[in-house]
Amino acid sequence: QVQLVQSGAEVKKPGASVKVSCKASGYTFTSYDINWVRQATGQGLEWMGWMNPNNDNTGYAQKFQGRVTMTRNTSISTAYMELSSLRSEDTAVYYCARAWNWRFDPWGQGTLVTVSS
């Protein structure tokens, strides 16, 4: 079945970077965009951007421009999201999701990133 499996929880200090992975299985990885969404505790969903695994094109929400980088390794069907210059407000669960026909389906299980000194 189509599945996205993300890397484990991370604890980072302010100013550091974090790189979260998202491994796809059950479909052709290069045929669908991967999007990243985050959710702070008790808050709503916040879209961060998208990446086309076929041609490496990306698009980022303005809020994250300059701090986020989305990449992929097609040989292992894995997408990555790296966020730099971390601050406490970046503490959240980060999700990857496959995008197709105007929807996100499925979603990964989420990765908790905690930013704390």
Contact residues for other proteins (CB under 8 A)? 35, 37, 44-47, 50, 59, 61-62, 95, 97, 101-110
Nearest approach in angstroms of CB 95 to other proteins is 6
Query: Of 22, 8, 83, which is closest to residue 53 (Cα–Cα)?
Result: 22
Tell me the C-alpha distance between 16 and 11, whole Å.
10
Nearest approach in angstroms of CB 94 to other proteins is 11
Nearest CB to other proteins, comparing residues 39 and 84: 39
Classify the C-alpha dihedral 95-98-102-103 as positive or negative: negative
Nearest CB to other proteins, comparing residues 15 and 59: 59
